[in-house]
Amino acid sequence: MMKLKLVCSALLVVAVPLTARNTILEFKGACQVPTNSTFRDIYGHAGALYGPELTVQLKEDKPWHAFASFDYFRKNGHSIGLCEPTTVKLLQFALGLKYFKSVRDGKADLYAGLAFEPVNMRTINCIQSVELRTSQWGFGGLAKIGAYYYLPRNFVFDFFIDYSFARVGSNDCNSCTGLQSVKANVSGAIFGIGLGYNFN
Amino acid sequence: MTAKLYVRSFASVFLLMGMQCMYAVPANTVIATIPVGVTPAGIAVTPNGAYAYVANNNNYGLLHGDSVSVLDLSNNTLLTTIYEQPLTATVFNQPYTVTINAAGTKAYVSNSNSTTITVIDTASNTITSTINGFDGPSGMVILPGTNTAYVNNYGGPQGLMSGNGHTLSIVNLISEMIVGTVNVDLAPAALAVSSDGAYVYSANYVDGNPGTGTVNVIRTSDNTLTTTITGFSGPFSIELTPDGKYAYVTNFGSNNFVPVGTTVSAINLATNTVVATINLDIQPSGLGITPDGRYAYASNYNTLYAGSMFTNLTAGQGTVNIIDIATNTVVPPVIAVGQSPADIAISPDGRFAYVTNYTSGAVDVIALQSFQISAQGCRIQNRYINGTDLVNRLTWTVSGSSLPVSYSIYRDAGLTNLVAEVSATEPFVYYDHHRSPNVIYTYYIVGTNSAGTTSVPVAVTVTQNCQ
């Protein structure tokens, strides 16, 4: 009984400020265009990326917002050289700040943001018909610009362009990959749209 | 002094059991030994490769020892022995060579101690007739596409003394009559004919001393001796390459005085000049050239004697040398065979060589490499997003006959580190993954054909990136 009271109290503490400020939860879909030529040669010039993002205004009537997102990217390709099948999965976590600028009498907000971005990369490299699976971490950053367009009933559209820059793995971890390891450059430009709900 | 292979000794005949090749054996090794008659000398294989005929010279003069052995080459066994008919008659008299016609229907046996050629019907393996009028006949060639043969008269006790002949007899094989004679140098020991039949080459032993032997070139259209090539040392066999560009002559020398011969001469037949003299083992005797013209196999007789009537025979280890015709060099291995290897015949498909061992009384069967592997290697950087797989790619082609059914790929010259087996039904490519940088890899590819003969390893060193 005591535990239930504590949980309810915590929810109230969180919920009351959220409803007083911009709190946007959205689900994004995007096209990620890798900027690294090796990545492009292996996995092609573009791939789908999707995931949720939560943006919370830090203080009422102030332009600064915190945001956290999780994006998932998966693409099949072929190695350079022997054209053997390979699959990459990127799990991109971002935690950062956005700066909002209200336009059109508050019907929209333009924003720009920066984030710290841990990336988990999972690969399945087929070598001689043997699947070599790896999971590696890397760290990078995310820069983004975009616009929220507020719809009736608190729904909101998010149009955004991001640039994710990250390198994953290491140059000296041959045992991790079964290969002569190199850091994977998974950077790319992201063009996307999100549909969310503003809890304000 | 003449030095025909009449080594009069009573050395015992080795009655070795014929052996079947059951497992993979390296090329250029003896895979079977077939016991035949007394002192086998000449050997010939039928055009279909099914049988071989061996002239048992009976140098020891054993009763009924003059004979011809017929070998079944499908299982490397003695099929039958053709003796004199009846046993009291002297149809054979120290048979020395066998020549089989292109149809494979008749075998002509030269009786070196008489004046005759014995004709054998190969279908029934019976003697059908005798051609008379020679003088110690010691060889025969048939002009391709004709019924005309040339027989070298080395000289024999029933005519001129052995080694004192100096003619070739021209024989009509239909009438089985001598129709002409061509004078050549002293002691014609062996004959060869060009593939178009335009020329016959007579290797003349003369006296066996260094530099005294000759090769006469006879134009068959008018039976004129056109050229004499000099400088041989007791020439004993002559064989032409399949393309007709070169002739190879064994310089046997002598087996009753020194120096013995140890070389083979290569003759350019366009210029009729000796273009190479190749050092071999002791007393190169017989010659066989593979159908693809890549290699010549020479048997090294290595047998000396002393005393009168050739009674003190000393036979050393017989060997066969392999000559790479492209380079006129001896290539490994040196093949150990029986004692006093006298003659060599190579099967039409190039898979086997048959060596008569004069004092061993047997025929050794050597598995040959009837195919050639040509291989290349390069390195591929097989790049993934998080690493690079360094891959060595080997590709190869094969030519020849009786091609491999599988290929083994090794990483060491000792052929202990097997990394792959590739079936001949698969593409001829192998990728060796996860190689280390800054290491130069050398691979060895060995092919194995359906007879179980494995090739000489082909080394491939990977030094460059693939294009």
The interface pTM score, or ipTM, of the predicted complex is 0.86
Nearest C-alpha in B relative to A128 = B433
In chain A, residues with a C-beta closer than 8 Å to the C-beta of B380 are 81-82
Q: Do B385 and A128 touch (CB under 8 A)?
A: no
Q: Which residues of A touch B384 (CB under 8 A)?
A: 42, 79, 86, 123, 125, 177, 179
Q: Are B25 and B453 in contact (CB under 8 A)?
A: yes
A80 and B434 within 8 Å at the Cβ level: the answer is: no
A162 phi and psi angles, rounded to 5 deg? -115, 160
Contact A86 B384 (CB under 8 A): yes
Min Cα–Cα distance to chain A from B423, Å: 17
Alpha-carbon gap: B389 to the closest alpha carbon of chain A (Å): 5
Q: Least CA distance to B388: which residue of chain A?
A: A180
- Identify the closest residue of chain A to B434 by CA–CA distance: A179
SS (H, E, C) chain B: CCCCCCCCCCCCCCCCCCCCCCCCEECCEEEEEEECCCCEEEEEECCCCCEEEEEECCCCCCCCCCEEEEEECCCCEEEEEECCCCCCCCCCCCEEEEEECCCCCEEEEEECCCCEEEEEECCCCEEEEEEECCCCEEEEEECCCCCEEEEEECCCCCCCCCCCCCEEEEEECCCCEEEEEEECCCCEEEEEECCCCCEEEEEECCCCCCCCEEEEEEECCCCEEEEEEEEECCEEEEEECCCCCEEEEEECCCCCCCCCCCEEEEEECCCCEEEEEEECCCCEEEEEECCCCCEEEEEECCEEEECHHHCEEEECCEEEEEEECCCCEEEEEEEEECCCEEEEEECCCCCEEEEEECCCCEEEEEECCCEEEEEEEEEEEEEECCEEEEEEEEEEEEEECCCEEEEEEECCCCCCCEEEEEECCCCCEEEECCCCCCCCEEEEEEEEECCCEECCCEEEEECCECC
Chain A CB contacts of B437 under 8 Å are 180
By C-alpha distance, the chain A residue nearest B466 is A81
| Cα–Cα nearest to B71, from B271, B365, B426, B404 | B365
CB–CB contact A182 B381 (8 Å): no
Query: What's the whole-number mean pLDDT along residues A138-150?
Result: 95
Chain A residues whose C-beta is within 8 A of a chain B C-beta are 38-39, 42-43, 79-82, 84, 86, 88, 121, 123, 125, 127-128, 134, 136, 168-169, 174, 177-184, 186
* Pairs of residues, one from chain A and one from chain B, whose beta carbons lie less than 8 Å apart: 76
pLDDT at A15: 45
Which helix (H) or strand (E) segment holds residue A124: the answer is strand A108-127
Check residue B85 and give its pLDDT.
65
Residue of A nearest to B381 (CA): A81
B386 → closest Cβ in A43, A84, A184: A184
pLDDT tens track of chain B, all 467 residues?
344 443 322 222 222 223 333 356 788 999 999 999 999 999 999 999 999 999 999 988 888 899 999 999 999 999 999 987 665 556 899 999 999 999 999 999 999 999 999 999 999 999 999 999 999 999 999 999 999 999 999 998 777 778 899 999 999 999 999 999 999 999 999 999 999 999 999 999 999 899 999 999 999 999 999 999 999 999 999 999 999 999 999 999 987 777 889 999 999 999 999 999 999 999 999 999 999 999 999 999 998 876 565 556 678 899 999 999 999 999 999 999 999 999 999 999 898 999 999 999 999 999 998 888 999 999 999 999 999 999 999 999 999 888 999 999 999 999 999 999 999 999 999 999 999 888 999 999 999 998 888 988 999 999 999 98
- What DSSP character marks residue A93? E
For A34-45, the pLDDT digits (tens) are: 999 999 999 999
CA distance A191 to chain B (A): 22
Residue whose pair of structure tokens reads 């008489």 in the numeric block: B114
Q: Residue range A103-119: average pLDDT? A: 92
This model's pTM is above 0.90: no
